Each structure stands twice: as C-alpha cells, then as structure tokens.
Structure 1
Amino acid sequence: MHCKTEGIVLSNAGYNDKYVITHVFTRSFGRISYLLPKTRGRRSRINPALFSPLSILNLEVEHLPLREIQRLKEADRQTLLYDIGSDLTKVSLTFFLSEFLSKVLRETDNNELLFDYLKQAVEVLEETKTGLANFHLTFVLGLTRFLGIYPNLENYTQGCCFDMLNGEFTSRTPAHAYYLRERESAFLNQLSRINFSNMHLFVLSRNDRNLIIDRMLTYYRLHLYDFQPIKSLDVLRELF
C-alpha cells in the first residue's frame, strides 16, 4: 500500500554495504524503520542527505503491516533546518533529542498529537535565537503528557516531597528511595508551568539544571521499560 505521510527522522543505523536503516516517527504510522540507500542513484527519488536527525520530511512510502522494515518511494524536505545543522548549541541539543527519542519512542501506532508536539519542538529549536538553556528540560517534561506518564503536579504544598513511583506530591516521606526531597520538589512545582514560550524566563544554575534533568530521567526510567542511560547528556552538562 502506497501512502503519503509526514515524518521526523530520529536516527540512522548501519545495515549493509548499500543501505542504512533510518528510524522515523511518522504522523500516520508512529515509529517506523525504513530502508534508506547510502547513495542516490540516477533514477532515485530518495536523497539520503535529507535524513539527518530531526529533519522534517514529506514522505511517500510503501507500507505493509507485517513488514519489519518498510520501503521509501519519495522524500522531500518540509522545513529547512539551517541553525540545527550549524549552531553548536543546537547541534548538541539535536544529538540529545535524537538519542533520547530513539530510546523513548518504541514501535507504536500512529499518534498525531505526539507527532505535532515533536514537530513543534523541532521548529522551536530551529527558530529560537537565545535562551535555549532550558529547552531540554521543557521538552522532556512536556513529552510525558503524550507517553501517558505525566505526573500529578496539582497538589503541591510547601515542605512536601514528590513520590516518583506514584507520580504525585505527598506530605509523607515514601517508604521507598524514589522520591524528591523538599528543595527538589519545589523545583518540580516551579517547572510545572514551563513551556516553549516562557522557558527563557526560568533562571536556573548549571547545577540546578543537571539535578533536574537527572531526576527527570530517573522518572522516565521508573515508568518506561528498559530505558537506557543517555550518553549525549554529558555534552549538555558542560554546555549549560
């Protein structure tokens, strides 16, 4: 079945001498693996140079439900991402998002709301000129809404702690080790109001950002199966 859909490139992996596997999150089918030629043939309508991480593409694909690796028929760039490919800060954030999303987004059915969130995030990353230090915090927290693991952040009171296993604030110290203490819980309450339009207003130190992203990733690890450490995070620790 031939279909047209939008796609956001997550990552690429080696396959053989002629092809790589490109992992793409599509509007119509969710995360899909496609066979991508390493070089562009004379008659080919697929330019492998388009498939860099976070590229937003218009795709024509051959989609068979039982096929493990689907086939690409045509691809063209929907949005020119100049800064993402050239600005050092944005390149570093792209590496992080690519690795993070590759671990978080599994083989799923289509989810148009999730696709729209990812597309918005890529466009914000491309267009924003300053104040990107909190971008990864904003993105990681916001993504929980679309993965079904968004914490209950409505019942914060001063001095309480956040139970990461149950995803809620509590006035009692949990019997397990996975909770945020008073200061960390206050950070989470503050960040509950963060979004892409106001993220530049949140003034945080490097140590605070590193603490927050560490706790966020622990939360993901508790609620998502087989969530592995993010190697590219070390670059962001130094950058921000």
Structure 2
Amino acid sequence: MLFKTEGIVLGATSYSDTYSIAHLFTRDFGRVSYLLPISRGKKTKIRNSLFFPLSVLYLEVEHMPLRDVQRLKEVERQFPLYGLCTNMTKVSLAFFISEFLSFILRESDNNELTFDYLKNSIETLEATEKGLANFHLALMMGLTRFLGIYPNTEFTGNYSFFDLQHGEFVVNEPMHSYYLDRKESHYLRDLYRINYSNMHLFKLSRNNRNEIVDQLLDYYRLHIYNFPPLKSLEVLRELG
C-alpha cells in the first residue's frame, strides 16, 4: 500500500552494486529503512543527492508492516540545505546529529511531535549564523522532552549532585559512579535553560563544550538501550 509522509535523512549504508539502504525518521512511521537505487544517469527517478544527512523530504512510499526494508516511489526535497552542505561547521554538526539520531530514534512513540521538533531544528540550523558551536547542546537538551527522559532540573542549595542514572538532583553523593560533582551539577542547572534563541549567549570554551557533550552522551546511554560510541564525535570536538 502506498502512503505519503515526510522523512528526515539519518544516513545510508551499502547493500549491493545497485542498491543502498537509506535510513530515515518519518513523521508517520518513525525510523524506517528504505531501498535506495544507486543512480546511474540523469534520468534516474530518485536521486542519491537528495539523501544528504538531515535532508527533509516529501515521500511517497510502499509500506508493509512485516517488511524490514520498505520501498520508495517518489521523493522530493522540502527545502534546500545550502549552509549544511557548504559551511564546514554546519557540515560537522549535520554528521554528528544524524549519527546521534540514528541510534536515539530506533524506537519512538509520539513520532509526529518528535518529527516536528527535529524538522524545526534543521530549519534553524540552516538559518543560524550565531552560536553555532552550541547548537548540538540545545538540540540534545530539547530532545529529552520528546523521548520521555527529560531530567528533573529542580535545584536548591541542599541538592548538590546531579544523579545521571535517576535524572535528578540529590542531596548526597550517590552510591554509584553515574553522577556529576557539585561544580558540574550547578553548571548543568544553568545549561538546561539553553535553547535555539539564547544559545549564542552561552560563552563556552571548547573544553567546556566537550565536557558537556560527554556528560549528555553519558546521560543518554543510561536511558537509551544499546547506545554505542559515535564515530563523528572527534570531528565535533574541534569546533571552536
């Protein structure tokens, strides 16, 4: 049966000499793998160039519930990504975010709200010029709300440690090793105010930013099953 939906490109993997597998997060079906013909000429109906990481596409697809890999019938780009293809900071962010999402979005309820948040995030990244180095921090913070793992950020002077495992501030040092010390916890409290509108106001050094990314990834790994190390992280660490 044919359906019309929207999709965000997460990446692609090799499959054969004539096909690759495109991985997308769709508004109606969540994360889906599609058989993507490898282009051979100008008359190719579905162009591989449409499947750059974080491209937002209109899709007509054949969707069968028991099929592991679905089929594409029509594909159209919703809006061009000039910045994400030419600005090296945005390119680095696009590859990191798409790899991050490819693991985080393996299973997701509430697909429509999550899709709309991510689509707006991509449009914002394409248009933004200030505070780009903090963009992924704002996205990772915001996405926790849609995945049902948003931490309890209520904080008083008595609650000194942030427990990564339970997602809350606590009075005493936890018995396990998954927590932030007093300084890191206080800093995290302030950082949870970050969003796309104010991210340029957060003056972070490269070392600060890398420490925060590591802490956020630790938090996600504690709450998302089988979340592996990200290959694109080392490139992202070079952002100024």
TM range (shorter): over 0.9
Q: Is 2:36 aligned against 1:36?
A: yes
- Distance in 2 separating the partners of 1:128 and 1:93: 12
Question: CA, structure 1 residues 129+49, in 2 after alignment: closer, same or farther (shift >3 Å)?
Answer: same
- Distance in 2 separating the partners of 1:229 and 1:156: 33
Q: Is 2:115 aligned against 1:115?
A: yes
Report 1:94-105 matches (<5 A): 94-105=94-105
Structure 1 stretches of 4+ with a deviation exceeding 6 A read none
Question: CA, structure 1 residues 65+108, in 2 after alignment: closer, same or farther (shift >3 Å)?
Answer: farther
Q: Which residue of 2 aligns with 1:92?
A: 92
103-112 vs 138-147, which moves further: 103-112
Q: Which residue of 1 aligns with 2:7?
A: 7
- Distance in 2 separating the partners of 1:48 and 1:206: 35
AA in 2 matched with 1:70:
Q
Tell me if the contact between 1:57 and 1:76 (Cα under 8 Å) persists in the aligned partners: yes
Any unmatched runs of 5+ in structure 1? none
Q: Is 2:185 aligned against 1:176?
A: no
- Distance in 2 separating the partners of 1:13 and 1:215: 29
Report 1:1-240 matches (<5 A): 1-39=1-39, 44-108=44-108, 111-157=111-157, 160-240=160-240
Question: CA, structure 1 residues 164+234, in 2 after alignment: closer, same or farther (shift >3 Å)?
Answer: same
- Distance in 2 separating the partners of 1:135 and 1:110: 23
What's the TM-score once normalised by structure 2's chain length? 0.95
- Distance in 2 separating the partners of 1:42 and 1:110: 38
AA in 2 matched with 1:117:
Y
Question: CA, structure 1 residues 3+156, in 2 after alignment: closer, same or farther (shift >3 Å)?
Answer: farther
**Structure 1 residue 110 displacement after superposition:** 6.0
Question: CA, structure 1 residues 178+109, in 2 after alignment: closer, same or farther (shift >3 Å)?
Answer: closer
Q: Percent identity?
A: 61
**Structure 1 residue 45 displacement after superposition:** 3.0
**Structure 1 residue 175 displacement after superposition:** 0.8
Partner deviation per Cα, 1:78-113 (whole Å, 9 max, x = no partner): 011101000010000011011111121104456100
Q: Secondary structure at the match of 1:210?
A: helix
Q: Secondary structure at the match of 1:142?
A: helix
What's the TM-score once normalised by structure 1's chain length? 0.95
Tell me if the contact between 1:29 and 1:108 (Cα under 8 Å) persists in the aligned partners: no
- Distance in 2 separating the partners of 1:59 and 1:177: 45
AA in 2 matched with 1:211:
E
Partner deviation per Cα, 1:3-28 (whole Å, 9 max, x = no partner): 10011000000000000000010101
Partner deviation per Cα, 1:164-209 (whole Å, 9 max, x = no partner): 1111001111111111001110111011111111111111111111
Q: Secondary structure at the match of 1:7?
A: strand
Q: Secondary structure at the match of 2:117?
A: helix
Partner deviation per Cα, 1:41-82 (whole Å, 9 max, x = no partner): 676531221111100000000111111100000001101110
- Distance in 1 separating the partners of 2:10 and 2:215: 24
Question: CA, structure 1 residues 174+109, in 2 after alignment: closer, same or farther (shift >3 Å)?
Answer: closer
AA in 2 matched with 1:93:
L
Tell me if the contact between 1:26 and 1:110 (Cα under 8 Å) persists in the aligned partners: no
Q: Alpha carbon RMSD of aligned pairs, Å?
A: 1.5
Partner deviation per Cα, 1:141-179 (whole Å, 9 max, x = no partner): 111111111110023436611011111001111111111
Partner deviation per Cα, 1:103-151 (whole Å, 9 max, x = no partner): 2110445610000111011111100012211111111111111111111
Tell me if the contact between 2:11 and 2:53 (Cα under 8 Å) persists in the aligned partners: yes
